[in-house]
Structure 1
Amino acid sequence: MALLSLRGLVKRFGDTVALDHLDLDVAPGEFLTLLGGSGSGKSTLLRVVAGFETAESGAVLLEGRDIAAVPPHARPLNMMFQSYALFPHLSVAGNVAYGLKRDDVPRAERDRRVAEALALVRLQGFERRLPYRLSGGQKQRVALARALVKRPRLLLLDEPLGALDANLRERTGFELRALQRETGAAFIMVTHDQNEALALADRVAVLEAGRLVQAGPPRAVYERPATRFVAGFLGGANVLEGQPDGAGGFDCPGLAATLRAEAPVDRGTAACALRPERITLRPSPLAGANASQGVVEEVAFRGDDSLLLVRAAGGALLRVGHAEEDGAPPPRGSTVHLAWEAAAVVPLRG
């Protein structure tokens, strides 16, 4: 049985639909990340589950029990806010112990569990320090310890790494994943960082305009996006317009080329996705499908590779990845020959 089941959630703010008949299941011990643009409904979804917002309709089932009418403090879950929401007048230990104190946990048990939580996030020796004396990363750890000390089956995290710099964010992200495995709790994390979502999650759920448009293991969602939005949002795939040619291929006027996937393209296909890193530069043109040519308009160095913007023969602007191990990228203004495998072509319906 799912730990959390959301059924038909609808939430509006005035004329704006924040959640549109959304269904979602979360398994026990699962790390799920919610991805989507601003206004897609990610944080609203967390707040409905936590009880800080009330849905107009639908059910929030935790272990089969509908908790829609249960107040936030009485729900057997915790939420970690992006701002961390630490009490400035309380010490690190006081912040972590706050929820236990409200629940009338005996002092000896409270002290033991606070010590365990601080050890879990490696903040031993910080018990008496006030929040203003902590770094951003340390504040994040205090907030996480406070959320974990009550041993919830489900932890909600709203952009928990957003205030950290890039290096600390990556390291803390992996520590967060290790903590999730160690505690066995299910985590639902909202993030705008696609790399973070792909690296940490067991499963990624992509929201658009309050609807769940695709959910699955990170690699599956990345490599086989279901819609134009998912293809463009997650990893910046090239979304190529055209129409099926009736013979299993897909005619793309913007490339002046025919695309062929591993399976015949059916009549319902509205576009095809092609990842930049799946396109290769060839020394000479190739005849047939899955090949084109164009002119390099821009070159951007990105560390381990370069991103080329190539104006294809039919006018489409393609994003093309060029690995550093393949030598220097072609300069602006040069003509390049492009090719890709059938496995790189992903038909899209929406």
Structure 2
Amino acid sequence: MNGYKLGVLYGEGIGPEITKSTVDILKAASDKIGISFEFVELPMGWEGIEKYQSPMPQYTKDELQKCHAWIMGPHDSASYPDQYKMERNPSGELRHYFELYANVRPAKNIPGIKGVVENTDLVIFRENTEGFYSDRNMALGTGEWQVTDDIVISAGVFSRKAIERIALEAFRMVEKRRKKVTIVHKANVIKLCSGLFKRVCLEVAKDFPDVQVDDYHIDAATAHLVRHSKDFDVIVTENMFGDILSDLTGELVGSLGLAPSINTNDRQAMAQAAHGSAPDIAGQNIANPTGIIFSTVMLMEWLSARHQDLKLKETAELIEKAVFKTMDEGVKTPDLQGTASTAEFTESIMTNIGCLS
């Protein structure tokens, strides 16, 4: 293709700083590789509320429909006016609206970053549209009901369609890796919902006879990840369990602030760091942009596979090498015991992009 249209949603808190850093780095790498991007800046969060009376305006969603993919900064939905707090937050709304059913969250040790564990390289495939996340598992309404002042009921939704497609994504990925899939569930207690998840994943596994398959209850999985994270390859699980496990594994390999992710369907993808908006350090030029940078690396890899464009893969590899080289040179933000500002860290990566072959 001659070029790709990428949406950019800067977000709130540290979002504008780290997202700008990422876009600048992507521009530098794509210019060197010789690939063209059109960046479409779109409102969300407070900007959306002020302009369109919505934290995720229909205008933004309409424009994202025209994009190949987009980069989304973190949002601070806890600070929104009360009338918006019962709505899906911007991230949840985009996952629901575009049916971005696969949330892919890798956890891998990074050279020069000391983690709690070593020799870990795993990927979590989190079903992104159902489960116990009541804000996105209903066609209408939130999926929660307050029966009395003291009683609340929350619905969990599990469908064969949603389970099959996330399982297929996990098993397709594992064919390129170490050929081991772990199913995480709670079928011993949540017998119907979680039982269906486990059963359908095992049915999908029959079409991949060369893949080793095991399963853990969610509580056991957390313990085994702390003790034996290097033994895991690809994990497939439902929405809430995947959210919790990916935060755990991100911290195990170094820091949740470094943890990347993408959200995908069969047509589009959204790069989004796993961490939040950190409003306490917003505007101080000390935020670490690595999580959203690596999320964008994942986005380039996804686009490369979808469009059979090796230049996108080269762009991803160049950015990753430049980040690793920058960290190896000791240029790190304060959260990693470094002294570099966000801008200095970004500039160092861009310099290394220019130097690397």
TM-score, scaled to structure 1: 0.29
Between 1 and 2, higher relative CO (CA 8 Å, sep ≥ 6) is seen in 2
TM-score, scaled to structure 2: 0.29
